[in-house]
Structure 1
Amino acid sequence: MSKSKIKRLIILGIITVIWMVGASAYALNCNGGRLVYPMNFEEYHFVAKDLPMIGAMVIVLLYVIYLAVSLVQYSLLERRNLKGKRPGKTRRVNPKLGYLGFFGFAGFFGIFTYLHDGTVFPFCFFVFFGFFGFFYEGKMSNILADERFLANKREAERKALGIGYKMSFLLLVLSGIFLDGPWLNLTAILLICGMALILGLVQFLSEYLLYRYDQMDSEDWSSEEDV
């Protein structure tokens, strides 16, 4: 992904956050907290002062769609290049893509939206923590993917998936314990947050462990040359 596109994603993300914070502050101070505090939408009627908050919701939705489409396009393009122009090489990744991992903190907005109108979708943003792995993948960008590298990659993925499996099992047990009566809503939130965090962790660990294994092998190789 080009530097200009990364900058565009970051700038648009900052603008989206600023708009959301500003619209929320306006609604709280000038519109009685409409669309911020919990309200009965069956009795909702539109007023002009709702426009900033409605606009903020639309902008957040459009940004998420744009981000998802950009990442899918980037992934498909890199795979095509890996198969065609650069056989035997790892894909080119800018380490700055790791900054996208900060969008994982948007998952905490789920607390706000759940208390507001019961919406739990923002908790899914916790999966973006896995994007911190792009930082380590970028450090191994466009290097030779030899047998040693591929073996390290398989080992890193195996270990990351093993940790993810154990955490998923623990999450399932905890959900089963609390899956009853008044705890039903909290159990659903636990499952969504837990699965999003586990997926993000597995993605991050697979890249981080691969980087560590690759660095350790490089240090061992250097030590042997010195001897």
Structure 2
Amino acid sequence: MSSNPRQATPPVRIQQNILARRERRLLDWLCARLPMWVTPDQLTTLGFLGAAMVAMGYMLSWLSPAWLALSITGYVVNWFGDSLDGSLARWRRIERPSYGYFVDHSVDGLAILLMVGGIGLSPYMRFDVALIAVIGYLLLAIHTFLAAKVVGEFRLSYMAGGPTELRLMLIAMTALMPVVGGADVRGINFSAFDLFGLLVSSILVTLFVTQSFTTARQLAHRRD
């Protein structure tokens, strides 16, 4: 049997997040109406530009909290590009599985570093806390990519949450930043957003550990 990855069976996509069905209907509606000159690669680039907008808004918020509106807009742009690039390719039946998988997830990794790391360059969260959150997200992403290879399941959601729910959570957090502020909580050298970031990070790392153990036990009963 050939070991050529191009001939391998593609992994089963598992998406059980809260908004999955409504989002799928919206994406299909958009795919049917996008001009033919719009390509998946252009949408991938647009999603990355949205991530850059997010980071820029956070950094400029040192000058004025009003710049956080740029970050919120960037999240929407990132969702549009990142959610539609693969959807459009599948809608038009022009998938390039190996190329799309590699490019899309490579860009996603950089986008997460920009968006979440950018929060650490704002007045509201410490940079080290933001990087811990990035590490937690990327650890879970690594598990997803490994499971897609060895189990044949590409999980797009955990605990009923996926990338879209994460963006909505970050948008809500960003909207609260001017209201709550970035002051330390009771002199512990952590702001409210630092504590929230550490909580989310701990959940991501815990998911990585538990899912890794679960998958390892599943594989232990196989002979390959």
State the TM-score, normalized to the length of structure 2.
0.38
- Tell me which of the two structures has the higher relative contact order, counting C-alpha pairs closer than 8 angstroms and 6 or more residues apart: 2
Q: What TM-score results when the alignment is normalised by the length of structure 1?
A: 0.38
